[in-house]
A and B are shown apart, each in its own frame.
Chain A
Amino acid sequence: MTGRNDSEGDRFPSTGVQCPLPLRDYPQIVLGHGGGGQLSDELVRHLFLPSFANDALQELGDASVVALGEQRIAFCTDSFVVQPRFFPGGNIGELAVNGTVNDLAMVGAEPKWLSAAFILEEGFSMDELARIVAAMADATARAGVDIVTGDTKVVPRGQGDGCYINTSGIGVVPKGIVLCPSRVQVGDAILLSGTIADHGMAIMSVREGLGFESEIASDTAALHELVATMLGVCPEIRAMRDPTRGGVAAALHEVAQAAQVGIEIDDAAVPIAPATASACEILGIDPLAVANEGKLIAFVPDEAASEVLEAMRAHPLGHNAARIGKVVADHRGMVVAKTAIGATRVITTQIGEALPRIC
């Protein structure tokens, strides 16, 4: 057996609180608990969600939407621990701003204010911190948001990994816009804003010193203007997701589960850059499961899909946008891909992350 035993770990020893079944398998946190796959999901559903239960949290969206009088406010938070901190196409600072802006954008919000909290390790280079902060300042200027509050903590040498950043964001959701997976309907078209897997493979190629011949650059970008353009063409867009950790596979799976619909994609229609595709082949990694930091997936009423796609392609962040599939009534809760040779395969989510952290 693999060390699982029904008699052990029934309760968290320190609190006496009943320890839910899946968490019993792991008396310690493993890296996979932060990988955005099934282990992360277990941690959220069996520890955080029941402990903090409320309606807004229940949605488990990229950002929560809460009402404040007439106004609807989007609120989200994200932590950034990427290694290396500087990589082709971006750095941890840029990621910390764009990531939070994108979480707000995915619920249709206009991003307004961000917080920035730094956890720094004793001995960390002041010069590097200055470069990270400058990158954050540039990113906020480009995105048109302000960092309005912050915090700094320093931990003793050896107790951190240089620099961790947490950002939270607040945005305002325009009247009439409701982006939510539960609105997704059978027949909707699924649009993807560009090539996949660039961020994850960029990080891997530098971190592991794989030395690929052509450089793969991260796609980190703030997507809220692209979102506004799309909503301008079609305010009835049902839902959006930015496929970060766990990639397109995890994002589609989440929506299929949340809306209890079937999702069918066409393998050949999913855009991927040749260098990225090669890198995935060499490492035996499914590009659908690799992180993106500047892409979105939109669920759009079929009749508006062509117009939205055209608007996406006219935007600098949507040049390679494509219709990758549709929402179907079959196999509810599941994502199925049509393979190049005309057969089908089911797309599941990853367990954890076999690879070290990438965002």
Chain B
Amino acid sequence: MKYLTEYRDGPKARALAEAIRRETTRPWAIMEVCGGQTHSIIRNGIDQILPEEIELIHGPGCPVCVTPLETIDKALAIAALPNVTFCSFGDMLRVPGSSHDLFTAKSRGADVRIVYSPLDAVRIAEREPERQVVFFAIGFETTAPANAMAAKLAKARNLPNFSLLVSHVLVPPAIDAIMQSPDNRVQAFLAAGHVCSVMGYWQYPPLAERHHVPIVVTGFEPLDLLRGILRAVRQLERGEAKVENAYERVVTFEGSRPAQEVIAEVFTTTDRSWRGIGTIPQSGWRLSDEYAAFDAERRFPVGDIATCESTLCRSGEVLQGAIKPHECPAFGKECTPRTPLGATMVSSEGACAAYYNYGRHETVKLQV
């Protein structure tokens, strides 16, 4: 497959791992921000071929994982209303709310539909004008342009029966929050390539400077990740703290102007609560006042929701890199993808699910 298989080449990957080994003189902790990168690292076993001095800390960049419990409960409340068709990406259906998940809501009769694009939800609203169609608009900067387009289209077509339940989150404020945490161990970041393909990386130099931390824009295939790690290690060894782009074939400094324009039109920055982490100031997007009519939280009565989080789940610490998934006492016991206590065990991008699905719990067991 063009642009994929050539970035999975075994000998080249091992040569890069060797280069990293040659340049590493002491332990370094590097955080990959994006859940897609976590998934690729574990699936391909990239951490297994790195020198043991290099620790990869799995970051909070899984949108499913950090969507606040309150928003999941709102989704469940809206989906259960009569005459509502609730559209979502498949990953969100198994994320536990306070009492159940969207799959269970569906089995109880709610009209919950998996869509692959927010524009599919707009089409459903056009096709079924008698139903209230709600799209669960979550994600980082990556999914924002498509979600913004859906809102724009619904406005242009004057669709009174379409709305969005928005819970967008942003990478730069999360990096800032991690670096400000007193327990922080992260010494360098691999910035998320997909997010940067939309936003560019002009937001990062002030962060790198303020926290004196190297930030390397990195892709998702094994060779991409290894190149990103190599460049981060090089900077760390030299005491540098620059922003570099190791994903040149996709990312430019400016990013996509048209995408950023549509985002600026439809969304506005807001404080956002991150599941397991807490509120990070100015770390999310909500619909702008101009699009308030399409806000599902205003359209449906979901103001007062009392949430109840599992007391066993330590996903917050996992998302901040304080513990590895299998170090949580509930991992693989009370909490499995089959019975997830936290969202990190659900999403294919969640660190706990990645560890579980690729058998890290088994590997750990085998070594005992």
Contact = CB atoms under 8 A, between A and B. Distances in A.
B184 interface: no
Contact of B8 (A340, A355, A356): A340
Interface of A is mostly: loop
Interface stretch (B39-47, B131-139, B232-240): B39-47
Contact of B49 (A26, A38, A39, A343): A343
Interface string B271-311: 00000000000000000000000000000000000001011
Given A28-B108, A341-B44, A344-B45, A4 B339 contact: yes
B96 A281 contact: no
A334 B4 contact: no
B48 A30 contact: no
Query: For this complex, into which size category does the number of interface residues on chain A fall?
Result: 35 or more
A342 B339 contact: no
A109 B336 CA distance: 39
Contacts of B140: none
A341 B225 CA distance: 12
Nearest to B357: A348
B358 A346 contact: yes
Nearest to A354: B90
Contact of B45 (A28, A38, A281, A339): A339
A355 to B, nearest CB: 7
B180 interface: no
B104 A28 contact: yes
A344 B48 contact: yes
A151 interface: no
Contacts of A2: 96, 99-101, 310, 339-341
Interface centre among B45, B90, B116 (most CB of A within 10 A): B45
Contact of B1 (A1, A281, A331, A334): A281
A331 B43 contact: no
Contacts of B310: 1-2
A92 to B, nearest CB: 22
A19 interface: no
Interface centre among B42, B101, B341, B363 (most CB of A within 10 A): B363
A277 interface: yes
Contacts of B222: 340-341
A148 interface: no
Interface residues of B, number: 47
A340 B42 contact: no
Contacts of A208: 116
A26 B108 CA distance: 11
A24 B48 CA distance: 39
A208 B119 CA distance: 13
B193 to A, nearest CB: 15
Contacts of B91: 354
A32 B90 CA distance: 13
Interface string A326-343: 000001001010011111
A3 interface: yes
A345 B47 CA distance: 11
Nearest to B116: A208
A281 B9 CA distance: 17
B197 to A, nearest CB: 15
Contacts of B44: 339-341, 343, 345
A279 to B, nearest CB: 11
A274 interface: yes
Contacts of B341: 1-2
A334 B42 contact: no
Contacts of B100: 2-3
A265 to B, nearest CB: 13
Given A283-B116, A354-B94, A343 B366 contact: no
A347 interface: yes
Interface string A1-31: 1111000000000000000000001101111
B337 interface: yes
Interface string A265-287: 00010000010011001011000
Contacts of A274: 1
Contact of B13 (A277, A334, A341): A341
A208 B124 CA distance: 13
Contact of B362 (A340, A341, A346, A355): A346
12 contacts: A2-B99, A3-B104, A278-B1, A334-B362, A339-B45, A340-B8, A341-B13, A341-B49, A343-B48, A345-B44, A354-B91, A354-B114
* Cβ-closest 9 pairs across A and B: A346-B359, A343-B45, A341-B13, A343-B48, A345-B358, A2-B96, A28-B107, A340-B8, A30-B107
Given A277-B1, A345-B43, 11 more contacts: A1-B311, A3-B104, A25-B339, A28-B104, A31-B106, A274-B1, A331-B362, A342-B14, A346-B359, A354-B114, A355-B114
